[in-house]
A = this chain, B = another copy of it.
């Protein structure tokens, strides 16, 4: 990394709280870029592994001791935990010019930062790099390569904090897309939370029918993949984004009711027309 935006400076120090899939992968990439990384994880084994692998230079204490040395703090924990962590870390934030997170919903954590009086330094972030595996063992270099990373600065966020957040996520390979936290949460209800619910509903329905996953063909497996995601992580996301999630679910249920009516009445052309809506949309390859 080179340039004069702070993030590239010698000795720039980033504290990463939560060394799971996202935090662990970020710590690996930042450390490989010459950034000094401090780490914290409630799971001592993960912390020791990150120290042992040389990914983090030092561990923060349970009381956030050591955080004073950080130029930036990244909270890479589930969304509810991030709110509590932000409050607890506050007294030790010291010189940090950027406080950010990696959670899947943004409105609540942005509001929490404002409440705590650190809205100027806070820039919410959400890298689209989740997968069904989690923990330090699932983390890897290059996870964010080519991934969309949403940044949701508020009106309060300082240009310096926004610049640092952009530099950090760009340095690890992410493509930064900026939008308001509320807009993010509405969009993600459709693009991320809804497919998680469809995959989980598919799993729950087949479990109820006694149909095992290995009876699926390649197409069914692709729809089933997300069902294996962590219920703890997703409970928080869905609860946090309840109103938007309910809208998206209701929209999807209307589609299913439409096609069920067409199938029930044996109206082949109505079935075809309904399928065509999804095909037109889906044919635009990502």
Residue A230 is within 8 A (CB to CB) of chain B in the complex: yes
Say which one of A40-48, A51-59, A246-254 lies at the interface with B: A246-254
Q: Is the CB of B227 within 8 A of A271?
A: no
Of A132, A147, A199, A206, the most chain B CB neighbours within 10 A belong to A206
Residue of B nearest to A245 (CB): B263
Q: Among residues 192 to 208 in chain A, which have CB atoms less than 8 Å away from a CB atom of chain B? A: 192, 194-208
Q: Is the CB of A205 within 8 A of B279?
A: no
Residue A115 is within 8 A (CB to CB) of chain B in the complex: no
How many residues of A are in contact with the other chain, CB < 8 A? Answer: 89
Residue A219 is within 8 A (CB to CB) of chain B in the complex: yes
A259 to B198, alpha carbons, bound, how many Å? 10
Residues of B within 8 A of A266 (CB): 239, 242
Q: Is the CB of B190 within 8 A of A268?
A: no
Give the shortest distance, in Å, between A99 (CB) and chain B (any CB). 24
Q: Is the CB of B218 within 8 A of A195?
A: no
Say which one of A2-10, A82-90, A123-131, A161-169 lies at the interface with B: A123-131
Residue A274 is within 8 A (CB to CB) of chain B in the complex: yes
Q: Is the CB of A219 within 8 A of B198?
A: no
Q: Is the CB of B279 within 8 A of A230?
A: yes
* From B197, B214, B224, B226, contact of A256 by CB (8 A): B197
Residue A213 is within 8 A (CB to CB) of chain B in the complex: yes
Cβ contacts A225-259/B at 8 Å (1 or 0 each) = 11111111011101100100110111111111101
Give the shortest distance, in Å, between A147 (CB) and chain B (any CB). 8
A205-B194, A268-B239, A274-B204 are known contacts. Are A282 and B228 too (CB-CB below 8 A)? yes
Q: Is the CB of B219 within 8 A of A226?
A: yes
* From B208, B220, B249, B282, contact of A192 by CB (8 A): B220
Copies in the complex: 2
* From B209, B220, B253, B260, contact of A195 by CB (8 A): B220
* From B195, B239, B254, B256, contact of A223 by CB (8 A): B195
A253-B257, A272-B235 are known contacts. Are A195 and B219 too (CB-CB below 8 A)? yes
A236 to B275, alpha carbons, bound, how many Å? 11
Q: Is the CB of A211 within 8 A of B192?
A: no
Residue of B nearest to A220 (CB): B195
A187 to B217, alpha carbons, bound, how many Å? 12
Of A224, A235, A236, A253, the most chain B CB neighbours within 10 A belong to A235
* From B190, B196, B253, contact of A253 by CB (8 A): B253
A218 to B132, alpha carbons, bound, how many Å? 11
- A–B complex contacts, Cβ < 8 Å, 15 sampled: A190-B205, A195-B220, A197-B259, A198-B202, A198-B223, A200-B277, A203-B277, A204-B278, A205-B251, A205-B252, A212-B281, A222-B222, A222-B223, A245-B263, A256-B256
